[in-house]
Amino acid sequence: MSKRDFYEVLGVSKDASGSEVKKAYRKVAIKYHPDKNPGDSEAEEKFKEAAEAYEILSDDQKRAQYDRFGHQAFDGSGGFGGGGGGMNMDDIFSHFGDIFGGGGSPFGDFFGGGGGGGRRQRKGSNLRIKLKMTLQEMAKGVEKKVRIKRYTSCEPCNGTGAKNGTDMTTCSTCQGSGQVQKVVNTMLGQMVSNSTCPSCNGEGKIIKNKCDNCGGEGRMYTEEDVSINIPPGVDDGMQLSMRGKGNMPKGGGVAGDLLIVIEAVEDANLHRDGENIHYELHLSFADAALGTTVEVPTLSGNVKVPIDAGTQSGKVLRLRGKGIRDINGYGVGDQLIHVSVFTPNKINSEEKELLKKLRESKNFNPSNEHKEEKRKSFFSRMKDFFAQ
């Protein structure tokens, strides 16, 4: 399968400035970020494709080569830094982690990308937990404390795996740099790419004597209480992440992430649809005909709602602002009350006689006016509803 044009991948023109390229990459990368698309292999490929495009177009020299020779300028160079041949998530976060940080995001560590710069560090595995939340908690936001078991850095050796944290020697393969260079001949001349040193796994040092506490792993399996601040507006199935609260890798590096999957607890009375809350109100025939005042549960407690005389079954009442706040801060939903007039399944003889008398009354027979109301189109009724 042929590669897409890098400018097309980021959605920029060929004369786009460096800042425009960076802005476009950030937009695409956030859209297809693994934390926002868990288990979506297609999104992951697009995420990598965008990083590859940015790696070339953000470098003036590489961009000039690409503009002249296209993808062929980097064919065969291999590894990250030569067209993305060996690119993985650690490469992307290590090189471009700053793209995802900053900007005043209200979510802090959520949807984080990891830091960049310097020698690439190994990243530990992620942890995934399910967090049960009620509708009330989703509406207000909440701080939850959970206990997790994870690998953390060994304190006696500072995560190095070496006795006292210092009993190490410089790696002879990479001379302490943590990287080895590979030179490849291309049509443009020699291309140099860097990769992690296989002897020291990028650490630049070799352990002489292992730590007695962790046996040289540089990590310990521990229990930890974690406070999770959940913002208002989260929904069932949504996944959030806390950077650095996953497992530490062997021999040091950076911890993986804690992935939090929101699981909604079903409410006995209220049902959610996006930012709106729905409640089904069952009225007796007498209350619907005569009018009354009823108490209705909401996310913030019971409220009294007046019911007009002659209220019809199927009518929808709206309590504005009684829904759930949009997670991006775009307003608050409403609570919709669906009126259902109750018809008893069983009646006694006295009630039966009363109903027979009422049936003969003119007011208890559908009039032409009522029939006309029934014939109103769906769109007309929806218009009336939204005009409330």
Binding-site annotation, residues: 154, 157, 171, 174, 197, 200, 211, 214
Q: What is the pLDDT of residues 176-198, one digit of tens each?
A: 888 888 877 766 666 777 788 88
The residue with tokens 């830094």 is: 81
CA quadruple 337, 338, 341, 343: dihedral positive or negative? negative
d(CA 20, CA 11): 10
Which structure tokens are listed for 127? 């942890």
pLDDT tens by residue, 144-178: 999 999 999 999 998 888 888 888 899 988 888 88
Beta bridge partners of 341: 283
Percent over 70 (pLDDT), the chain: 80
Query: Could you tell me if 248 and 151 are in contact, meaning their C-beta atoms sit under 8 angstroms apart?
Result: yes
**Partner residues linked to 38 by β-bridges:** none
Euclidean distance between CA atoms 166 and 171, whole angstroms: 14
212 pLDDT above the threshold of 50? yes
CB atoms near residue 16 (< 10 Å): 16
pLDDT, averaged across the chain: 82
Of the pLDDT bands very low, low, confident and very high (cuts 50, 70, 90), residue 383 is low
Kindly tell me if the per-residue pLDDT of 68 is higher than 70: yes
Topology (CATH level 3) of domain 1-74: Helix Hairpins (1.10.287)
Strands (E), the chain: 127-133, 142-153, 168-170, 179-186, 189-196, 205-207, 219-230, 239-242, 258-264, 270-273, 276-283, 292-298, 301-307, 316-319, 335-341
Contact 251, 201 (CB under 8 A): yes
Q: Check residue 111 and give its pLDDT.
A: 42
Give the separation between CA 74 and CA 71, rounded to whole angstroms. 6
Domain boundaries defined on the chain: 1-74, 121-154+219-266, 270-387
| Binding site feature residues for Zn(2+) | 154, 157, 171, 174, 197, 200, 211, 214
pLDDT (0 to 100) of residue 109? 41
User: Does 1.10.1280.10 match the CATH number of domain 121-154+219-266?
Assistant: no
Q: Is the pTM of this model over 0.85?
A: no
Rounded to an integer, what distance in angstroms lies between the CA atom of residue 64 and that of residue 307? Answer: 72
Burial 58-88 (b: 16+ CB within 10 A, else e): beeebbebbeeeeeebbeebbbbbbbbeebe
pLDDT of 125 strictly over 50: yes
Mean pLDDT, range 46-62, rounded to an integer: 89
Q: Give strand ranges (E) for 208-269.
A: 219-230, 239-242, 258-264
Q: Do domains 1-74 and 121-154+219-266 have the same CATH topology?
A: no
Question: What is the fold, at CATH topology level, of the domain defined by 270-387?
Answer: HSP40/DNAj peptide-binding domain (2.60.260)
